[in-house]
Structure 1
Amino acid sequence: MTEKVVVAGVGMIPFKKPGQSEPYTVMGAQAVRLALADAAVGYESIQQAYASYIFGDSTCGQRVLYDIGMTGIPVVNVHNNCASGSSALFLANQAIASGRVDIVLAFGFEQMNPGALGGLYNDRPAPLDPFLQECASVVPEGVPMALRLFGAAGLEHMRRFGTPLETFAKIRAKASRHAMNNPMAVFRKEVTAEEVMADQMMWPGVMTRLMACPPTCGAAAVVLCSESYARKHRLDASVWIAGQAIATDGPETFRSGDLRHVAGYGMSRAAANKVYEEAGIGAEDIDVLELHDCFAQNELLSYEALGLCPEGGAQKFVDAADNTYGGKYVVNPSGGLLSKGHPIGATGLAQATELVQQLRGRADQRQVDGARIALQHNVGIGGAAVVTMYRKD
């Protein structure tokens, strides 16, 4: 890895509830065109493309791009659960950093159905079965699949450190305040912590409905290129990738008895530590973050996994408002998955779009003053955790 990789262009479309969006072919193409326009390059310049989605047949990525151009470039479809978008970005980054290519497109899209997530193939072993078995003893009947995993992880934190349910409600309320200034978000209405607590209990004492992100449709795209290519073609090279790592589950996931690990705590921590080492920058230097808040419980766990606060210190971190404007960090200025929405294949690339705009100083009312270092965290159970650090020259 010798080539410096810059983010030349980003683009995303407003996220929408299932049934209210265009087909994935239209959404994906719109996001790609926005990223190309932002980079000031034509599609004919792109040398490789990585497409991210999980709800769709094979070669959906090609189907999207064929409406933009048929240049014969390699197109790779990436399916890594909720970390698919960042996994596509990771592959694009590697391709450029290795010197193999100069300019690459990573894009993601999702056309989702309403309701809780579930498996598609019931005639074969499910990849998440070991995770569900690990937390089965604490989960009541009737709890949806994803909620079982993240709820169990949150419950583990509550039991270990005495974290009250109200702390998760405060995280959800913070997300809504941030989303009020994001025209791309699905939910832009402010909710209070009291309203979150009073909402329907999905798991009594562990999670209310508002603590879970909504199924969402949308698309986002990123154009990466080498610094030398950007200089040669006079592209914006102000934002670059200072470090990136992808990790999968370690043995602690099924051996430690710590249910935080079924939600990716261990692999998130491992990926973050690799990035801090690669970039030579610690968590204390970060200005703004987009992290994977599919549930308010996972945002809290991620504070500690990423080193934003000590283990067991998340309640104090939230109570001190160190996760919002005026505090130590601004976490999820977009409103995060909880308010912006979670179109799975697009999520990681939408996070990248938000952070690049923050570092460019173009985030409008969401702008974090003086932001120069940003961190992105995207996790998929089963498992993959991708952490990316961006810097502004």
Structure 2
Amino acid sequence: MALPLRRVFVVGVGMTKFEKPGRRKDFDYPQMAYEAGTKALEDAGLRYEQIEQACCGYVYGDTCCGQRALYQLGLTGIPIYNVNNACCTGSTALYMAKNLIAGGMADCVMALGFEKMQRGSLQDQYSDRTSPFDKHNAISTKLRGIDKAPFAAQLFGNGGRDHMDKYGTKPEHFAKIAWKNHKHSVNNPYSQFQDEYSLEQIMNSPMVYYPLTKLQCCPTSDGSACVILASEEFVRKNRLEAQAVEIAAMEMGTDEPSVFSGENVMKVIGYDMAKNTAKRAFKRAGMTPNDVQVVELHDCFAANELVTYEALGLCPEGGAADFIDRGDNTYGGKYVINPSGGLISKGHPLGATGLAQCSELTWQLRGQAEKRQVPGVKACLQHNLGLGGAVVIAIYRLGFPEAHRVHEMRASARL
């Protein structure tokens, strides 16, 4: 019989601004990791010596980059795990850190993610061995053919084409998602791009792979993000209740048989994986999608955001177009999805993305998101996807709402 899991809380977050690869000459992964790690420690009011274990996520780099990134914060001899799980790497490191605390193996764990990327579209790094995407690409090619476009754009673009054929979705609906995310990014100082575009500009930008134009695709990025997790005992001992955000549920899933069924490419890009993992997360939290106000969703391409609305239960299957047309994915609607600007605008340094999502949702719950702040936030949802395949779904809420309210009242009185 399994023992009950302990509650786990986010007590510190920090991140760098995400940058175009190579834009900053002094921005190697040790520098970016030091900045994000230092910010998270300062946010938590903790010393690195209080960190008992660390999980470090990155995709592009040699072995033990995690150690090199953390040694500049301190040489304390703690266990350091290096994590690589495609675009889901950051949240996989977070998932590992959460489980270490939930299972009673540690009381304070750091999850750090970073990436120093090459410019341009993602490419396989090794040509002398089987690609982990060979089966995914084979199904997509069988159903939709193959093009010279980047392979990821083809996979997600084909998923979007499937949705168009099945439900009558229009190219404008994908463009509206990108328009929304670019508009949100204007208020995010950490975002790689902070430019607002008209719907026409987005639709008329260069076509990458129909229906996806350039402004509907996320860029490669350099950057880092860090999250510090703690047990309830540690939170109370260090008087961190006012800022603690509880992980109400966090579930991880991988590909299921349907991904290779040949039914459609929506399944290849993780539809069922996200749907079933989200169901488990909501069940564990004792919540439904209606209980959530803010969502950070893995919009590597606008097509994936649209398809994932339905997978997460934010709208009915086939209802994404109407959901978008009603404005239920932005301020004033049912949900605010990707207030950070999402991957499309904020950028996508693979190892850092999931931790940056957690940071944004933590700020939203604490009321610290400044111009991006959504009023009345009580619960938030995170979706981080990696093809090949992995998905992490997390649900967050304030851990000690009364302590947070007292803290806010005292802060207002001082002003």
Instruction: Give secondary structure in 1 for the equivalent of 2:391.
Output: strand
Tell me the equivalent position of 1:145: 151
Q: Which amino acid aligns with 1:70?
A: L
Report the alpha carbon displacement of residue 141 of structure 1 after superposing the two structures with TM. Answer: 2.3
* Distance (whole Å) between structure 1 residues aligned to residue 244 and residue 222 of structure 2: 30
* Distance (whole Å) between structure 2 residues aligned to residue 271 and residue 29 of structure 1: 33
Question: Which of 13, 29, 35 pairs up with 1:10?
Answer: 13
* Distance (whole Å) between structure 1 residues aligned to residue 103 and residue 146 of structure 2: 48
Report the alpha carbon displacement of residue 103 of structure 1 after superposing the two structures with TM. Answer: 0.3
- Kept in 1, the 8 Å contact 2:294–2:381? The answer is yes
Tell me the equivalent position of 1:228: 233
User: Structure 1 residues 145-154 or 338-347, which shifts more?
Assistant: 145-154
The two structures, once aligned, show a CA RMSD in angstroms of 0.9
TM-score normalised by L of structure 2: 0.93
Deviation string, structure 1 residues 297-330 (Cα, Å, up to 9, x no partner): 0000110010000000000000000000000000
Tell me the equivalent position of 1:119: 124
Report the alpha carbon displacement of residue 131 of structure 1 after superposing the two structures with TM. Answer: 0.3
Report the alpha carbon displacement of residue 256 of structure 1 after superposing the two structures with TM. Answer: 4.7
Tell me the equivalent position of 2:321: 315
Tell me the equivalent position of 2:405: none
Tell me the equivalent position of 1:29: 34
Q: Map residues 210-229 of structure 1 onto 2, 5 A cutoff.
A: 210-229=215-234
Runs of 5+ unmatched residues, structure 1: none
Q: Which amino acid aligns with 2:21?
A: P
Tell me the equivalent position of 1:181: 187
* Distance (whole Å) between structure 1 residues aligned to residue 236 and residue 357 of structure 2: 25
* Distance (whole Å) between structure 2 residues aligned to residue 316 and residue 147 of structure 1: 24
Tell me the equivalent position of 1:329: 335
Question: Which of 368, 381, 384 pairs up with 1:362?
Answer: 368
Question: Which of 208, 211, 214 pairs up with 1:209?
Answer: 214
- Kept in 1, the 8 Å contact 2:133–2:388? The answer is yes
* Distance (whole Å) between structure 1 residues aligned to residue 379 and residue 359 of structure 2: 14
Tell me the equivalent position of 1:383: 389
Q: Map residues 244-259 of structure 1 onto 2, 5 A cutoff.
A: 244-259=250-265
Deviation string, structure 1 residues 261-293 (Cα, Å, up to 9, x no partner): 111111111110010000000001101010100
- Pair 1:374–1:61, CA change in 2 (3 A): same
Question: Which of 103, 106, 114 pairs up with 1:101?
Answer: 106
* Distance (whole Å) between structure 2 residues aligned to residue 100 and residue 66 of structure 1: 22
Deviation string, structure 1 residues 39-90 (Cα, Å, up to 9, x no partner): 1110000000000000000100000011111100000011000000000000
* Distance (whole Å) between structure 2 residues aligned to residue 179 and residue 241 of structure 1: 25
Tell me the equivalent position of 2:139: 134
The runs of 4+ residues in structure 1 deviating greater than 2 Å are none
- Kept in 1, the 8 Å contact 2:10–2:230? The answer is yes
Report the alpha carbon displacement of residue 139 of structure 1 after superposing the two structures with TM. Answer: 3.7
Question: Which of 9, 12, 19 pairs up with 2:22?
Answer: 19
Runs of 5+ unmatched residues, structure 2: 402-415
How many residues align? The count is 392
Report the alpha carbon displacement of residue 238 of structure 1 after superposing the two structures with TM. Answer: 3.4
Instruction: Give secondary structure in 1 for the equivalent of 2:249.
Output: strand
Report the alpha carbon displacement of residue 140 of structure 1 after superposing the two structures with TM. Answer: 3.9
Question: Which of 298, 314, 324 pairs up with 1:292?
Answer: 298
Instruction: Percent identity, please.
Output: 48
Tell me the equivalent position of 2:85: 80
- Kept in 2, the 8 Å contact 1:376–1:388? The answer is yes
* Distance (whole Å) between structure 1 residues aligned to residue 214 and residue 244 of structure 2: 40
Please say if 1:338 is aligned against 2:341.
no
- Kept in 2, the 8 Å contact 1:139–1:152? The answer is no
- Kept in 2, the 8 Å contact 1:249–1:383? The answer is yes
* Distance (whole Å) between structure 2 residues aligned to residue 273 and residue 46 of structure 1: 32
- Kept in 2, the 8 Å contact 1:9–1:38? The answer is yes
* Distance (whole Å) between structure 2 residues aligned to residue 8 and residue 221 of structure 1: 11
* Distance (whole Å) between structure 1 residues aligned to residue 357 and residue 47 of structure 2: 23
Q: Which amino acid aligns with 1:174?
A: K
Q: Which amino acid aligns with 1:44?
A: E
* Distance (whole Å) between structure 1 residues aligned to residue 43 and residue 276 of structure 2: 33
